Amino acid sequence: MEMIASNFAELLHPITLLIIFAASLVGIFLGAIPGLSGGLGVALLLPLSFGLDPHVGLAMLISIWVGGTSGAMIGSILLGIPGSPSAIATTFDGYPMTKNGEVVRALGAAITASFIGTFISIIVAAFLSRILADLALKLGPWEYFSLGVCAISLVAALARESVFHGLAAAALGLLCSSVGFAPIDGYPRFAFGNMYLNSGFDLVSLMIGFFAIKQILMEFARGSQVMPEFDAKTITGFGVTLKDYTSNAVNIFRSFMIGLWIGFLPGMGSGLSNMVSYAYAKNSSKHPEKFGKGCIDGVFASETANNASVGGSLIPMVALGIPGDGTTAILLGGLMIHGIQAGPLLFTNNPDIVYTLFNTALISAILVFISQFFGMRLFPAILKVPYQYLYSAIVLLCYMGVFVGAGTEFNFIIMLGFAILGLLMDWARMPVGPFVLAFILGPMLESNLRKGFTYTDQGIWPFFTRPISGILLALALISIIWPYVKPLLKKSQGQSGERESSLAP
């Protein structure tokens, strides 16, 4: 306990605290810009941390990550353009709330949910990292494959149009994810001799094309460039009522557990957790028809889950030396460069580093919360910018984000290609969610599927006979057939009720 207090005192030193605050603001700024993210900020500032004290350098990187994860919701809510994959599901209801004139309410819900997810997940990770990491070690490729299938099936089954459209979109996403070198043997596929396609389609280019360029094209085509009106003087508190919190208590808790669980599964992260939690929230809601039209429940679900993944992702990195996602992989590299070996011995050899990681995340979560609370009065001001200037600036930032993320002009073509594909999918009534989720999970699914076949001579059966894997596949099957079975059950119940009433004297 004395070491924890000492570490807190060190982090609260004015200079160190200023660095944490500045890094958090940088993270929020990068997270809000389409194509950039807190993870990119960690990568860009990683060399700068080498010349700093390990505690200060790691504190700076952690703060950027926390700020970027939370800041990604700003673009999702105000413009319908997610700053990173972790905020894709936030666009589904956050942007419709903005168009409905509820921008402050959406921002307030997202800011609160982000703080709850980050702060509590860090506390849980600090106390349970070793225990939860031991559970993750017991999962093999069979369970990881089944988890991915279950996630995609659940999201596809909740598609607005039909299960068929959702599964078709997921299949198209899996097809696009297979472009490039195969994950096991490195064989190039669907590259057609183009060296730029050997590494596959870039996720940043896909995301910007799907959500930014397509959105702008659709707004111009519909002639709906008028931004909603708002008066900053009327903003009080978070714009969210106590009833909103109480009615979403179960939703927030469930989304938190989903984000924490998916976060500490290596290779998963917030890009998956926000989609899965949104799907569960819609499936469990008493009014699922409101989702996608401006329902605050969807904002609470996605933002709680993606920020809970921050604490979850730290668990395997600290306890096992295994990165939970791409950002923690960069952080792991930073530890190694400073001569610190992550893993079970980290708690014994460098307990001060462990406390620095968790304490910094807690401090940064509080600073991000305060910054966004006051910034909430300024964020909606972007809606007052004339659309001809706003959209031009967004397109410019999109091209910059694609180039910074990939370093090649060829990805401009990919971005425009996915924008056109997004328009065609809208015309065919194919939802975007299953496509993006399948694209993100595609390499993981293929890799674990092939590992599952090679790790045993029993073929496909371990995917069904291993308890956790079998349960996940069963849930996937139920989620697909349930939308077809549910109307039949209601119809049969209605007919039986009519029969009983006709027989009554």
Residue ranges per structural domain of the chain: 2-490
Strands 188-189 and 180-181: antiparallel
309 vs 302: CA distance, rounded Å:
11
- pLDDT band for position 79 (cuts 50, 70, 90): confident
Mean pLDDT for all residues in the chain: 77
Q: Considering Cα of 90, then 96, then 98, then 104, what sign does the dihedral take? A: negative
Structure tokens, 247: 């009615």
- pLDDT band for position 258 (cuts 50, 70, 90): confident
Please give the DSSP secondary-structure letter assigned to residue 54: H
Q: pLDDT for 87-121, tens place per residue?
A: 778 888 888 888 887 888 888 888 888 898 889 88
- pLDDT band for position 47 (cuts 50, 70, 90): low
Q: pLDDT for 336-388, tens place per residue?
A: 767 776 666 676 777 778 788 888 888 888 998 988 888 776 766 665 666 66
Please give the DSSP secondary-structure letter assigned to residue 432: H
330 vs 151: CA distance, rounded Å:
26
Residue 494 near residue 173 (C-beta atoms within 8 A): no
Expressed in percent and rounded to 5, the helix, strand and coil fractions of the chain are: 75, 0, 20
326 vs 441: CA distance, rounded Å:
14
Instruction: Measure the N-to-C terminal CA separation of the chain; round to a whole number of Å.
Output: 75
131 exposure class (CB count in 10 Å sphere: 0-12, 13-18, 19+): exposed
CA gyration radius, the chain: 23
Q: Of 71-75, 100-104, 404-408, which gets the smallest average pLDDT? A: 404-408
User: How many other β-carbons are positioned within 10 Å of the β-carbon of residue 155?
Assistant: 29
- pLDDT band for position 245 (cuts 50, 70, 90): confident
Closest C-alpha to 209, from 380, 425, 427, 382: 425
**Mean pLDDT across 472-482:** 83
445 vs 182: CA distance, rounded Å:
12
Percent of the chain with pLDDT over 70: 76
**Mean pLDDT across 46-64:** 78
Confidence (pLDDT) at 208? 75
Contacts of 386 (CB under 8 A, 6+ apart): none
**Cross-strand partners of 189:** 180
**CA–CA distance from 436 to each of 39, 87, 275, 441, 478 (Å)?**
19, 12, 10, 9, 22
**CA–CA distance from 43 to each of 39, 120, 316 (Å)?**
6, 26, 20
Q: pLDDT for 276-335, tens place per residue?
A: 888 888 888 888 788 888 888 888 888 888 888 888 777 777 776 666 566 776 677 677
Does 233 have pLDDT greater than 60? no
Closest C-alpha to 260, from 366, 133, 87, 361: 133
Q: Of 62-76, 239-253, 433-447, which gets the smallest average pLDDT? A: 433-447
Q: pLDDT for 26-44, tens place per residue?
A: 888 777 766 566 666 776 6
**Mean pLDDT across 180-188:** 78
Confidence (pLDDT) at 234? 53
Residue 248 near residue 278 (C-beta atoms within 8 A): no
Confidence (pLDDT) at 419? 87
Closest C-alpha to 306, from 129, 42, 90: 90
Confidence (pLDDT) at 140? 80
- Which H/E stretch holds residue 180? strand 180-181
Place of tokens 């402050």: 104
The predicted model scores a pTM of: 0.68
**Mean pLDDT across 481-504:** 65
pLDDT top residue among 131 and 160: 131
The torsion of the CA quartet 427, 430, 434, 440, rounded to 10 degrees, works out to -40
Length in residues, the chain:
505
Contacts of 14 (CB under 8 A, 6+ apart): none
Closest C-alpha to 97, from 84, 116, 112, 110: 110
In Å, how far from its chain's centre is CA 178? 21
Confidence (pLDDT) at 225? 52
Confidence (pLDDT) at 498? 55
403 vs 410: CA distance, rounded Å:
9
